[in-house]
Amino acid sequence: MNESTRKRGRDAGAEIVGAEIAGAASVGPRWQQIANALAASIERGAYTDGSILPSAASIAERYGVHRHTARQAFRHLEELGLVSVTRGRGTTVTGQRIPYRIGRRVSFRANFGAAGVKAAGTVLDCRLAEAAGETAVLLGVATGDPVWEIRMTSRAAGAAVSTSVHTLSEARFPAFDAQIIKAKASTTAAFKAYGIADYMRLETRLTARTATASEARILGLKRNGVVMQSFAVDGLEDGTPLQIITSAFAADRVEFVLSQEV
């Protein structure tokens, strides 16, 4: 991006910010008003992924605030995961949240594909554990029965968006560790090796929480970054359970869309 293009982007951005702030309710400190206005502009697409926001000096001068006030607004946007602040480059929009549909049929690749986003997964490790508590009940196995724990990470639009653990009965899915690797981390493809051509989502629970150190490392989040935890059960149409999936999605990169499909 050359300097003239950057300048046009900054000038246009300043006008957008001015209109947003002028129309916003005067609630909260000035830095928060500016941050909210910028966030609203990003959400409605006024700023595209990779575009440069107006400089702190430009906002400070235009709206009669101290430069530190503008910088505080930028820091807040960075904490929300909406922008990246780099010395010498400015404040860059990091991207829109990618829609992820949750309905009766949930497939990571298919869901992001429907949004025009290329997705892929990687198997991190596979191990056998003993079923216990809710896991045994939900999978319909006895306490102590061996179950697969398949840890994976998934990427969409080139960025890590989730890390997950898939838990399945070893008796029902022998050698699943080899099948999931052969299927390139696609459980849909792996299930076909066991004669399962179709399955659906039986239950989904969503919870917001702070990422663990491991999740933050895998997803590239800052310390105390926020994730949306999805606890789900997939099964056959007759209700027979197939797998439990516990996933942590980077909250700043994914938007959950509840589908009414039947």
Per-residue pLDDT of 186-223, as tens digits, reads: 999 999 999 999 999 999 999 999 999 999 999 988 78
Taking CA 150 as the corner, what is the angle to CA 146 and CA 156, rounded to the nearest 5 degrees? 160
Q: Taking a C-beta distance cutoff of 8 angstroms, is the pair 95, 158 a contact?
A: no
Spatial strand order of the sheet with 200-210 comes to 119-130, 146-156, 159-169, 241-250, 226-235, 200-210
For the chain, the farthest-separated pair of C-alpha atoms sits apart, in whole angstroms, at: 68
Mean of pLDDT values over 25-42: 79
Cβ-based neighbour number of residue 117 at 10 Å:
18
Using only the alpha carbons of the chain, give its radius of gyration.
22
pLDDT mean across residues, the chain: 84
User: What is the mean predicted confidence (pLDDT) over 88-107?
Assistant: 78
Task: Reduce the DSSP state of residue 178 to 3 states and report it.
Answer: helix
Q: Supply the pLDDT for residue 110.
A: 78
What is the band of 262 on the pLDDT scale with cuts at 50, 70, 90?
Answer: very low
Element (H, E) at 19: helix 3-23
- Residue 44: which pLDDT band, with cuts at 50, 70 and 90? confident
Helices 30-43 and 67-79 sit at what angle, rounded to 10 degrees?
Answer: 50
Residue pLDDT, tens place only, 220-256: 887 888 999 999 999 999 999 999 999 999 987 888 8
The whole-number pLDDT of residue 76 equals 83
d(CA 82, CA 97): 9
Task: State percent of the chain over pLDDT 90.
Answer: 47
Q: What is the mean pLDDT of residues 103-132?
A: 85
Cα 42 to Cα 58: distance, rounded to the nearest angstrom: 18
pLDDT band (50, 70, 90) for residue 36 = confident
Which of 50-59, 63-72, 143-152 comes out lowest in average pLDDT?
50-59
For residue 255, the surrounding DSSP H or E stretch is strand 254-258
Task: Enter the pTM of the model.
Answer: 0.67
